[in-house]
Amino acid sequence: MTAVATSTDGPTFDCRVDFADELAKLAREDDRIVAVCNDSVGSSNLTAFREEFPERLVNVGIAEQDLVGVGAGLANAGLIPFVCAAAPFLTGRATEQIKADVAYSERHVVLCGQSPGMAYGELGPTHHSIEDLSWMRAVAGLPVVVPAGPQQTRSAVRWAASLGRGSYLRIPRFKVPEVSQEGDVFEAGRAVQMRGGEDVTIVAVGTMVSRAVWAADTLAAQGITARLLNMAFVEPLDRAAVLAAATETGGIVTVEEATTSGGLGAAIASLVAQQKPCRMRILGIDGQFAPTGTASYLLDHFGLNADGIAQAARDVIGGGRG
Amino acid sequence: MTTTHPSTIASTVLRVDEPAAAAYSQAVARNRTLSRDGLRSELVKVATGVRRDIITTIQGSQLGHVGGDLSVTDILVTAYWHALRVDPTRPEDLQRDRFVLSKGHCAAALYSTLASCGFFPRAELATFAKPLSPLNGHPNRVKVPGVETNTGPLGHGFPVATGCALGAKLLGEDYRTIVVMGDGEMQEGSNWEAAMTAAHYELHNITAIVDRNRLQQGARTEDTKTLEPLHDKWTSFGWETRRIDGHDHLAIAEAMGPSTTGKPVAIVADTIKGKGVSFMEDRVEWHHKVPSDEQVLAALEELSG
């Protein structure tokens, strides 16, 4: 429950800034790029975009079903809409539009869930988006992308713009350090291995990646080598990397700022259970609504920090509760 | 259990019927030169054929929504055979007019109309709702040329159509967008979200039509959740509103004309569920009842004019 000392000396970033900056760059290069929002110009960090491209910022007001439907229509017209809203409302209120109008209709709409996970902290579970990974993963043919920092956020924006069909991007608001290096690959279905190791594998996404790095460092100091995978694509998963981890290391710990009922951990468990069973721990929020607290407090409350991740790794290796 | 399906269903995506498409394009060009009586007579003829195809298509599949299919037929036919600029040989042309059937459960009516235009061979109607057919119980744009978006859950088509119209405005394109909703469907809140968006963006290039047949699945709309005064609702949402007889082809054609105020245009089209088959007309049970073979013969007899 206690907060853990982490290497937070370096700078941290609100990835919405990188998202908006990269989107503006893309818009300068491609006239088809438009942003669509639900009164969320500020919370999606689109104020500068609106100033530069006033005609290409569509605001449908507080109306998420209309937001996604209009986005699908704009794609029908030949534009490339980036549909931006707070993740809980985008993925919760407009789930059926995402399913029918975007995914099933195969429309190139980039769904941008802002401030996901428990980023809204004290605003409470109505404003938390911990279900989005489960809901979006359940929609056929919809890639689910969870950038871990500024570089992956920018890569995700570019990747989604050229995909030719819809996708869901989960844009972090909770400040994170840069975890990527220049030259890191960003490909659908391909994880980035951030640490080598054989004793255990940690698979992390989004805001949890930097914490997993700290956990791996903690474990290394204890003589445990942890392989660390940044699985930015929850869908499609890097199946080869997961199966290799299940084969070559002592087990897998997954960690996500999301419910454990259907996101990253569930995806990996489903894969290894069918193809290469191994010991696992799935870290996330387990079947409950968060109490009141800041985002940082709540992450610690649920053990989503370096200590919690390192402990889960030791459990897997030691055959403890797992 | 393995099942063998007819080879006609091996193709999962339908393609244009070239000769039918050519005949359609010529006929539509000719329709625009006809007198009012001439146009009416042409549209009545096409509508009768489409109604017959709806009946036999549903007979073949043993499922469908015949009541709403027959109430929306004259709107569909007037749209495709008079108002819309579409070329079935180029269904993805970016300049095409957009037509969205938001009441996607009336797929058999949409398919019969699209087939009449040659978007795909009319013979394919026999595969409607059969295993692996591209002609699903609700329309799928990926498999059926001419379908703009996959509808079925109500309250989806109108926001998408609003996006199509807004896209035209942003791109400086002059295509138009027509969307047709069921009247019961107006109980979905998403439609009123779209109504506000289209009015706010002054989308004079969209026409939203309500197929006002006064029945929904289980009862009359006014006994379920009151829709009237529907005309006033649209007007208060900022739409130029027209109320017409939805079976009068010339009235439909005229109402599909351009906005005179710069506002988006709403048409409340008063229709009769089951229109054209006397024993189906205005009867709630024909929402999705399937006619017996005897009833099919009786219906086709009535539709032989």
Residue A229 is part of a domain; what is its CATH number? 3.40.50.920
By the CB < 8 Å criterion, does A30 face chain B? no
Contacts (Cβ under 8 Å, ≥6 apart) of B40: B249, B250
Tell me whether residue A184 is in a domain: no
Closest CA relative to residue B84, chosen from B56, B119, B54, B53: B119
Q: What confidence score (pLDDT) does residue B3 get?
A: 47
CATH number of the domain to which A42 belongs: 3.40.50.970
Across the interface, do A76 and B98 touch by the CB < 8 Å criterion?
yes
The count of CB pairs under 8 A between chains A and B is 112
Compute the mean pLDDT over every residue in chain B, rounded to the nearest whole number: 96
Looking at the structure, tell me whether residues A202 and A267 fall in a common domain: yes
Looking at the structure, tell me whether residues A87 and A224 fall in a common domain: no
pLDDT band at A177 (very low <50, low <70, confident <90, very high): very high
Count of structural domains within chain A: 2
What backbone phi and psi angles, to 5 degrees, belong to B180? -120, 130
By the CB < 8 Å criterion, does A105 face chain B? yes
- Residue A81's DSSP bridge partners are A34
| Beta carbons of B241 and B259 less than 8 angstroms apart | no
Looking at the structure, tell me whether residues A156 and A21 fall in a common domain: yes
**HEC letters along A257-296:** EEECCCCHHHHHHHHHHHHCCCCEEEEEECCCCCCCCCHH
Label residue A277 left, alpha or beta by phi (over 0 means left) and psi (-120 to 50 means alpha).
beta
Tell me whether residue A178 is in a domain: no
Give me the domain span that covers residue A228: 192-318
Looking at the structure, tell me whether residues A123 and A58 fall in a common domain: yes
Across the interface, do B194 and A66 touch by the CB < 8 Å criterion?
yes
Per-residue pLDDT tens over the stretch B163-209: 999 999 999 999 999 999 999 999 999 999 999 999 999 999 999 99
Across the interface, do B193 and A60 touch by the CB < 8 Å criterion?
yes
By the CB < 8 Å criterion, does A182 face chain B? no
Share of chain B above pLDDT 90, in %: 95
- In order of start, what are the domains of chain B with their CATH numbers? 16-302 (3.40.50.970)
Q: Chain B: nearest CA to A72, how far in angstroms?
A: 6
Looking at the structure, tell me whether residues A157 and A205 fall in a common domain: no
Looking at the structure, tell me whether residues A136 and A201 fall in a common domain: no
Across the interface, do A79 and B167 touch by the CB < 8 Å criterion?
yes
Tell me whether residue A278 is in a domain: yes
Residues of B in contact with A53 (CB under 8 A): none
Tell me the three state secondary structure of residue B257. coil
Across the interface, do B140 and A104 touch by the CB < 8 Å criterion?
yes
- B95, B99, B100, B160: best to mutate for the A interface, most A CBs within 10 A: B160
Looking at the structure, tell me whether residues A86 and A206 fall in a common domain: no
pTM of the predicted protein model: 0.96
Per-residue pLDDT tens over the stretch B124-157: 999 999 999 999 999 999 999 999 999 999 999 9
Q: What confidence score (pLDDT) does residue B9 get?
A: 56
Tell me whether residue A183 is in a domain: no
Looking at the structure, tell me whether residues A128 and A248 fall in a common domain: no
Looking at the structure, tell me whether residues A104 and A134 fall in a common domain: yes
Looking at the structure, tell me whether residues A29 and A166 fall in a common domain: yes
Tell me whether residue A3 is in a domain: no
Angstrom distance (rounded) from CA B221 to CA A32? 42
B1 pLDDT higher than 90: no
Closest CA relative to residue B148, chosen from A75, A96, A80: A75
